[in-house]
Amino acid sequence: MTYPWEVLRRLLTPRWAASLAGLLVVVAACVLLGMWQLGVARDTGRQDAIAAAATMTREPLAAVTAPHRAFPPELSNRPVTVSGTYDASRSFVVVDRRLGDRTGSWVVTPLDTGAGTVAVLRGFVPGAPAAAPAPPAGPVTVLGTLGPGESPRTGDALQGAQRRSIDLAELVNEWPGDLYDAVVFASAEHAGPDASGATLGDPALTRVPPPTLDTPLNLRNAAYAVQWWVFGVFAIWMWWKMLRADEEAHGRAAAAPIPSTTDSTRESATT
């Protein structure tokens, strides 16, 4: 029953109080350094994935995927080109979106490619207009990157052509023909069936960058993070070992027999 109190009393001594404070500083530093390395691992992994995506050859959409085909993660940020004709009557705006420090809406228009229809995110507009800006008429070629569709979002009733998300599961029942299970984040539009035509664009629209990649950690920096946390655990273990060793030394000293006065007198007389 007295052991916890003896340990607590020893921890309150200047020597062990200082060692405990030092331990807390070391452990806190190891935790923070590990978290920093984990953040570096995430950032490095994201930068590597973005760099890898940027080096991919831009290919026609039909060469990358097909209508109704599931959207795999590796297609995120894949550069593509797709030609077709916009269906202006089915354009809509996705409200409550942000671009930098601005709040506004996305403008989405279906592009009929002949082989199927794909949702093209043409850009961002401030505010929440009830109708989408008109897309270019006639054949166009869109350069952009692929992204997945979105989950449905609930909320108050909207007006006009407003929506809350690019829900492809809903659009497949509303748009005619076969639908690609992907969204093209447009970076440029050109007149005609290839990218050699005149560059098109609406000054009211701001291009939307592709979505953030769900990227793996950089293994080297992740290992550094684990290493720092192991150092912290090792410091706790070493401090506990020293405390136990000190306790055992004091226990042995307390258990050692104390020579009596009679024994000392007898030893002196014998001498």
Mean pLDDT of 216-245: 82
- Asked if the model's pLDDT at residue 194 lies above 80, the reply is yes
Give SS3 for 166.
coil
Which tens digit of pLDDT belongs to each residue from 75-102?
Answer: 888 899 999 999 999 999 999 999 989 9
Mean pLDDT of 203-230: 78
* pLDDT at residue number 1: 41
* pLDDT at residue number 168: 95
Which range, of 33-37, 43-47, 76-80, 112-116, averages the lowest pLDDT?
Answer: 43-47
Contacts of 239 (CB under 8 A, 6+ apart): 19, 20, 23
- Asked if the model's pLDDT at residue 18 lies above 70, the reply is yes
Which tens digit of pLDDT belongs to each residue from 175-193?
Answer: 988 999 999 999 999 999 8
pLDDT band of 155, cuts 50, 70, 90? confident
CA angle 73, 76, 81 (to 5 degrees): 135
Q: CA-CA distances (angstroms) from residue 108 to 61, 131, 176, 244, 260?
A: 17, 11, 16, 68, 98
Amino acid at 184: V
Which range, of 29-33, 41-45, 103-107, 136-140, averages the lowest pLDDT?
Answer: 41-45
